[in-house]
Structure 1
Amino acid sequence: MSMNDPISDMLTRIRNGQRARKDSVVSPASKMRARVLEVLQREGFIRGFSEEELGKHKGLRIELKYFEGQPAIQHLQRVSTPGRRVYSGSKDLPRVRNGLGITIVSTPRGVLSDAEAREQNVGGEVLAEVF
């Protein structure tokens, strides 16, 4: 079965894993998914991730993070979809919860958080918002 939106699939696996209080979840591996996970790890929303073999294919094991029994990620939503791409300039990047959350942006300089994109003065496709 083909997957139309692999990033949305990974975000849903993270959301479902946290609701079920799992320590970690597994998602098929890709470079774009790994870049998004690097941003989540840098910003402190997940403990980490590692690549592992899943039969013939590679997968990403995502270590979920909790604080006092509550998930570190309260809200995780895909913004740009295959049917409706959302782009934003560096000055117009959305602020999530007045700066408490982050927006994940795919830029020509790689996948960055909104603060990093503003600092480097680059815009791009708004992938997801997290808080």
Structure 2
Amino acid sequence: MCIIKCSYRVLFNNFLILSGLSRLIKYLIMTDPIADYLTRLRNAIMAHHRIVEVPASNLKKSITKILFEKGYILNYKFVEDGPQGIIKIALKYDPVTKQNAIKNLKRVSSPGLRQYTGYKDMPRVINGLGIAIISTSKGVMTNKEATTEKIGGEVLCYIY
């Protein structure tokens, strides 16, 4: 009876849930992990969540460390869970105004259109008040660190 009334998509989703493959499929379909990371942070900020969980990768760990060092997040913790692990991020809010330390997150370079810059043309975010996260041959760093080391790279995102 259910086969006649249900669509193939519903049956397929039920199969994935029952077989335990839905969690695996969720991670395989993602095409831009950095955009997913920024979107999860943005959604948690908009919903005024204190903690957000993000699937871990080495690049996301580096970005999280930079956000912590620059004071945009309160704390973070890497949890080994499953094949890749999870990053738990405690968001930072002002105690009086309840405003988040992160005002805006913008993805610059994407898998379809990479954006590279040299150290002489390094972007300034809000005249130096924000940061640009750059992926270089020496690792992930901020625009200011890349300029002092005189190294260019791929502009991943702007945060302010």
Q: Same fold (TM over 0.5)?
A: yes
Q: Which amino acid aligns with 1:40?
A: L
Q: TM-score, normalised by structure 1?
A: 0.95
CA deviation string 1:93-113 (max 9, x = no partner): 110101100000001111000
Greater RCO, 1 or 2 (C-alpha within 8 Å, sep 6+): 1
User: For 1:56 and 1:120, how far apart are their aligned partners in 2?
Assistant: 35
Paired position in structure 2 for 1:12: 39
Q: How does 1:98-113 map to 2 (within 5 A)?
A: 98-113=127-142
Whichever structure has more strand as a proportion of its residues is: 1
Q: Which stretch of structure 1 is more off in the superposition, 114-123 or 55-64?
A: 55-64
How many angstroms apart in 1 are the aligned matches of 2:83 and 2:61? 19
SS in 1 for 2:110: coil
Higher normalized helix content (fraction of residues): 2
Aligned AA for 1:38?
Answer: K
User: How well do the aligned residues superpose, as a CA RMSD in angstroms?
Assistant: 1.2
2:98 maps to a residue whose letter is G
Which of 49, 54, 64 is the aligned partner of 1:37? 64
For 2:82 and 2:123, locate their aligned partners in 1 and report how far apart those are by CA, in whole Å.
Answer: 40
User: Which amino acid in 2 is paired with 1:104?
Assistant: I
Q: CA deviation at 1:48?
A: 2.1
Cα distance, 1:43 vs structure 2:
1.0
Kindly indicate whether the alpha-carbon contact (under 8 Å) linking 2:57 and 2:84 is maintained by their aligned counterparts in 1: no
Amino acid at match of 1:124: G
Letter in 2 for 1:3: M
Instruction: Give 1:114's aligned residue.
Output: 143
Find the counterpart in structure 2 of residue 48 from structure 1.
Answer: 75
